[in-house]
Structure 1
Amino acid sequence: MAFSSRILIAAAAVLALSLPASAANMIGNCEVTGEKGSIPIANPAKAGQLTVEVSLPSPIWWNGDTPEAIKDGMEYCMAAEIAWRAGYDKLEVVNVGWDALIAGQTEGFDLAMSQISITEERKKVHDFSVSYFNSDIGVLTRKDAPVDEKSIKSAKVGVQQATTGAAFAQDKLGITDLQVYPDQGDMFAALRAGQIDAAVTDTSITLAEEVANPDKVVVIGQYKTGEAYGAIYPKGNANNATLDKIMQAMIDDGTISKLAAKYLAAAWGKDPATVPYFNP
């Protein structure tokens, strides 16, 4: 199960007021609402804490440029809630390279969340959680030189290495002038500098960049792909089933919907479903 963007926007409208800070249990700036230790894990990667990997930057999902600076964001607060229900009030964030993360070359962590699309190819390397967010592929372009559904085929297009957006641009769109970047920050900087005409990646990620630079870039369209995000677990780890039980409980009790309303729908200011759909 995953939550669609329409549900997130609806949730934003009905989000209840939180408890006063003095009455709340907190990890970072996140109020954790489940019962501490209600679904315990006994042997985390590092004793006394939950260790979560992410590939930064990842605004709105992880608010901060370094692990030490991050205290909130959609996925950070999800991780905080997981840690709390697993029995820990300490959360360590570890920044890793995207390629290494996707290739399964990192170790010493309990789970990874970095807007990671679940694919059959990736399942060969990792175990995935239940899905918690649906996302299609968006097209981000400069406001002063926008591309459209036809001109993108001959445009200079940026993608992030080893992402589903990169595969889509090459295999489905047939882009011949493809510029590949090691991380999304470099890709978006190249777009703002006029080095590429468009950037193709998850609609959710392109919308976050539009919010960050509204005078320079705009999400001009998107492609329907049916992607869904999931957390990565180390392949075959004994704690994976327990962590997944926590994730499913957070979906069932509305915790993820509330976090999405707070961090995603409110930040984007619009329903991603209103972005026009292009034909490949």
Structure 2
Amino acid sequence: MRAIHSFALALLLACGVSTAQARDWASIKQAGSIIVASEGAYAPFNYFQGSTLSGYEIDVMNAMAAKLGLKVEWRALGFDALIASIRQDRFDAAIASHGVTEERQKSVDFTNPHYCSGGQIVTKRGGPTKGAELANKVIGVQLATTYAEAAKKVTGAKEVKTFPKDTDAQQALLAGRVDAWVTDRFVAKAAVERNAGAGLVTGELLFVERVATVVRKGNGELRDQLNKALAEIKADGTLKKISEKYFKEDISCQN
């Protein structure tokens, strides 16, 4: 979704910067740990509790790693730097709500999806709740996201304002600086609940997407091992349990 800003640099310092390179499965298995990057600023999927990365995706990766007999060495940096960093071999994998797109698949590989979601309109009561109602409106989105791409395709939108973090776009809506905010539907749900007195309401989905872990292009054996682990935590109910912990429903893809 974005370049490394001061906040992202602080996250790097919090988790420690590593020059370790992305490795094949044999090297990871021999080391006994996998180096995984996330953002840490996208609750409830990935966020910091103190200096510890937490959230749905963090729990999912930790559970997958446990199935593979691995520990996770976590790193964090700005969302828009994650795919570039995977391509530069700085990490073994990244899990940070990356929607699977044809454009992204040109430069990295994806595992099977760990959840399905979509880009949802959020507005203040009385504001635009349908795509057609966004004409002549200012839309707030996070930079370099699939939500930003969807907003740019809205016919007749007055302006699409991009922000370094999704929470910045949310704050712009609360402050009345944008007419609508487009974000993940589960993030939208949590924001409406968390800001009960602000009069926020959710509208229609602009698109549906499948969200997956990112690995280096051509690192097929690691991708296959992660897929195997994901299938195992789905089969034994762990994935559903993690999902219900954060969302009170199963958000995994059903087909």
Aligned partner of 1:240 in structure 2 is 223
Alignment counterpart, residue 73 of structure 2, candidates 86, 89, 92: 92
Match of 2:44, SS state, is coil
CA displacement at 1:51 relative to structure 2: 2.0
Structure 2 portions without partners, runs of 5+? 1-24
Q: Which residues in structure 2 correspond to 1:61-210 (within 5 Å)?
A: 61-64=45-48, 68-70=51-53, 72-88=54-70, 90-103=71-84, 104=86, 107-143=89-125, 146-149=127-130, 150-210=132-192
- Aligned equivalents of 1:244 and 1:82: distance in 2? 9
- Aligned equivalents of 2:192 and 2:88: distance in 1? 31
Match of 2:99, SS state, is coil
- Aligned equivalents of 1:211 and 1:113: distance in 2? 25
- Aligned equivalents of 1:63 and 1:241: distance in 2? 27
8 Å Cα contact 1:52-1:91 kept in structure 2: yes
- Number of aligned residue pairs: give it: 224
* 1:221/1:167 CA distance change after superposition, 3 Å: same
Q: Which residues in structure 2 correspond to 1:209-224 (within 5 Å)?
A: 209-216=191-198, 218-223=200-205
Over residues 136-157 of structure 1, what are the superposed CA-to-partner deviations in whole Å (9 max), with x where a residue is unaligned? 22111234x6333354222111
Kindly provide the amino acid, as one letter, of the partner of residue 50 in structure 1.
I
- Aligned equivalents of 2:30 and 2:206: distance in 1? 39
Aligned-pair Cα RMSD in Å: 2.6
Match of 1:133, SS state, is strand
8 Å Cα contact 1:141-1:219 kept in structure 2: yes
TM, length-normalised to structure 2: 0.77
8 Å Cα contact 2:189-2:202 kept in structure 1: no
Aligned partner of 2:38 in structure 1 is 54
* 1:241/1:197 CA distance change after superposition, 3 Å: same
Kindly provide the amino acid, as one letter, of the partner of residue 201 in structure 1.
T
Q: Which residues in structure 2 correspond to 1:13-24 (within 5 Å)?
A: none
Q: Does 1:44 align with 2:28?
A: yes
CA displacement at 1:199 relative to structure 2: 0.6
Q: Which aligned runs of 4 or more in structure 1 are off by greater than 6 angstroms? A: none
CA displacement at 1:263 relative to structure 2: 1.2
Aligned partner of 2:17 in structure 1 is none
8 Å Cα contact 1:192-1:217 kept in structure 2: no
